[in-house]
Amino acid sequence: MIVMKFGGTSVKDVAAVRRLIGIVGGEQRPKVVVVSALSKVTDALIQAGRLAEQGDAAAAAAAVRALHRRHAEMAVLVESPQRKAALVAALDELFHELETIVHALAVVEEVSPRSADTIAAFGELASSRIVAAAFEDAGLRSCWLDARQVLITDAQHGAAQPDRQATDQRLLSLVRPLALEGQIPVLGGFIGATAAGLTTTLGRGGSDYSAALFGAGLGADEIQIWTDVDGMLTGDPRLVAAPKVVPQLSFDEASELAYFGAKVLHPSTILPAVRLGIPVRILNSERPEAEGTLITREAGAHGDGPAAIACKRGVTRIDIASSRMLMAYGFLRRVFEVFERFRTPVDVVTTSEVSVSVTVDDRRALDAIVAELSGFADVGREDGMAIVCAVGQRLRDDPCLAARFLGALEGLPLAMVSLGGSRMNITVVLRNDDVEPAMERLHRRFFEDQPRAEPALAAHAR
Ligand code: ADP
Ligand code: ASP
Ligand code: MG
C-alpha cells in the first residue's frame, strides 16, 4: 500500500486535478490519497478569521463567498449530473456553515485558537470533497473520508500533536480495509480532531505530516509527496538561480533540511517514516515522469560536498549572559527550563564562557521568556535574523567542508556559528538581509563550481 499526498499547487485548479487523476489512475498498488487545500486557500481562510477578529463582518463574509465561488468552479471536473449536484450541495453546505461561523466571530470580535482551527480546516474539507468526486467521476473507485474521524490529536490548537495510538486504530479500522478492497480513500491533510471531536490543525504545511502519519499507521510501502518542484533541490529555488535535484537523501539529512527551512517537506514528516523505515519520495505533479528525490535510511551519494543548503528567515537571537553564575553548573538547565515551560523550541545554540546564544523561530512567548530569563541573567535580543546551513553526511567525513562553507561567506557578518551535533550540519546565523547573497554564494561554491583543491595552507598555519 502507498500513501500519495498532493500539495496545494497540485490541486490548485481544474487542470491540476485532471493531472492528479492521471497520476493516481496510473498507480496499480492499493493507495490512500491525502490532499492539501487548493493553493492559497489556507492563507485566505486565516485572513477571513483576521477580518472577523477585527469585527469586519462584511469583509469576512465577502472573503468566504469568494472562496465558495472558487471551489464551486471546480465542479466542472464532474460530468455526471447527479454526482455534480451532490458535490455542489456539499460545498454549499460547507461554505454556508463557514459563513455562519465567521459572522458569529465577527459579532464578538474574537477568534480563539480553537475557532481559528475550525476556520482553517475548511480548505482541506472542501478540496478533499472535490478530489474524491472528480476521481469517482473519472472511473476511479474512491470514497471521501473526514480526516477528523481518523487523525486524533491533542488540543494544542494550531500545532496539534497526534495521538498515534488512537490514529493508528482509526486507520486500521476505517481506512485500510477500503484501500485493500480496491477503493481509494481520499482525506484532507493538515486537519484532525481531539478525542472529544474538536477540530485541530497540525501547523502550516502539515499535510505532509498527515501523509507520513497515515503511511506509518497503515504500514505503507512508500509515502509520496507530490508537489510543484522536481524534488528536494540543492537550494531554495526562490533564492538560488540554478538549483539541482538531490536524487537521494537519508532520513537524517532530509529532516535537518526540512527543519532548517526546505519548505518542500514539513519538518515532522520524516519522523513517522523513520521508525518503520518507510521510504518517502518527493515528486513533481507537473512532471510526473521526473525521478524525484528518494529519502531512505541509507545516505545518498552527494559527490564531495553537502547534500543541499537551506535557510530559515525571521528568527530571533537571544543572548543570555551571567557573570555571577559564570560557568556554574545548573545555569544551562535554568536557561532551558524557561524555554521548556513556554513550550518554545530553540534551534541553534552556541555557548561561550560567559554566555549562551540561542535562536528561536516561534516568537509567541518570547516577551515572557525574555522577562523570565532577565530575572537571573543579562538578556539581549535581536530580531530579524536568519539561519543558513549546509547539510550532508560528507560534513562528517570531510572536515574541510566547514571551512569552505565559511570561506564562501567571507565579508558577511555572522552572529553565530555552529558545527557539531549530528556533524552533518554546519549552521550560521546572520541578518535576514544577508540571506540572499549567502545562499547564492554557497550554492555557487558547492553546486555550481567544478570541485577544486583547497588553496594550500600557509606555512605558519601548518
Ligand atoms: P506543497 O503545496 O506541494 O506542499 P510547498 O509550497 O509547501 O508545496 O513546498 C514546495 C515549495 O518549497 C517549492 O515550490 C519551493 O519553492 C520550496 N522550497 C524551498 N526550499 C526547497 C528545496 N530545498 N527543495 C525544493 N523546494 C524547496
Ligand atoms: N493547507 C495547509 C497550509 O497551507 C496545509 C498544507 O498545505 O500542507 O499550511
Ligand atoms: Mg507543503
**CA dist 207 to 4, 122, 295, 412, 441, Å?**
11, 14, 18, 36, 32
CB 73 within 8 A of CB 123: no
The residue whose CA is least distant from atom 4 of ligand 2 is 42
CA 28 and chain centroid, separation: 28
Decide: helix, strand or coil at residue 417: strand
Give the dihedral sign, CA 436/440/445/446.
positive
CB 291 within 8 A of CB 247: yes
Polymer length in residues for the chain:
462
Q: Which residues pair with 430 in a beta bridge?
A: 386, 414
Decide: helix, strand or coil at residue 308: strand
pLDDT of residue 32: 98
CB 138 within 8 A of CB 131: no
Q: How far apart are the C-alpha atoms of 396 and 256, rounded to whole Å? A: 14
CB 338 within 8 A of CB 367: no
Decide: helix, strand or coil at residue 260: coil
Q: Give 233 Cα–ligand 1 centroid separation in angstroms.
A: 9
Tell me the best of 204, 227, 266 to mutate to test the pocket of ligand 2, counting ligand atoms within 8 Å of each CB and taking the most: 204
CA 170 and chain centroid, separation: 24
Radius of gyration of the chain (CA): 24
Q: What is the DSSP letter of 162?
A: B
pLDDT of residue 348: 94
Check if 292 has its Cβ closer than 6 Å to any atom of ligand 1.
no
Q: Give 207 Cα–ligand 2 centroid separation in angstroms.
A: 6
Q: How far apart are the C-alpha atoms of 426 and 420, rounded to whole Å? A: 7
% helix, strand, coil for the chain, step of 5: 45, 20, 35
Q: Which of 200, 198, 172 is nearest to 185 (CA)?
A: 172
Q: Give 269 Cα–ligand 3 centroid separation in angstroms.
A: 10
**CA dist 135 to 1, 33, 185, 189, Å?**
18, 11, 10, 17
> In a structure prediction context, what are the per-residue pLDDT tens digits for the chain, which is 462 residues long?
999 999 999 999 999 999 999 999 999 999 999 999 999 999 999 999 999 999 999 999 999 999 999 999 999 999 999 999 999 999 999 999 999 999 999 999 999 999 999 999 999 999 999 999 999 999 999 999 999 999 999 999 999 999 999 999 999 999 999 999 999 999 999 999 999 999 999 999 999 999 999 999 999 999 999 999 999 999 999 999 999 999 999 999 999 999 999 999 999 998 999 889 999 999 999 999 999 999 999 867 677 899 999 999 999 999 999 866 555 678 888 899 999 999 999 999 998 777 899 999 999 999 999 999 999 899 999 999 999 999 999 998 888 899 999 999 999 999 999 997 678 999 999 999 999 999 999 999 999 965 544 444 434 433
Three cell numbers written together for 4? 500519495
Q: How far apart are the C-alpha atoms of 286 and 17, rounded to whole Å? A: 11
Q: Give 237 Cα–ligand 3 centroid separation in angstroms.
A: 14
Three cell numbers written together for 73? 468552479
Q: How far apart are the C-alpha atoms of 188 and 199, rounded to whole Å? A: 13
Residue ranges with CB less than 5 Å from ion ligand 3:
7, 205
User: Looking at the CA of 40, which ligand is closest?
Assistant: 2
Give the dihedral sign, CA 349/350/352/357.
negative
CB 2 within 8 A of CB 283: no
Q: How far apart are the C-alpha atoms of 424 and 390, rounded to whole Å? A: 8
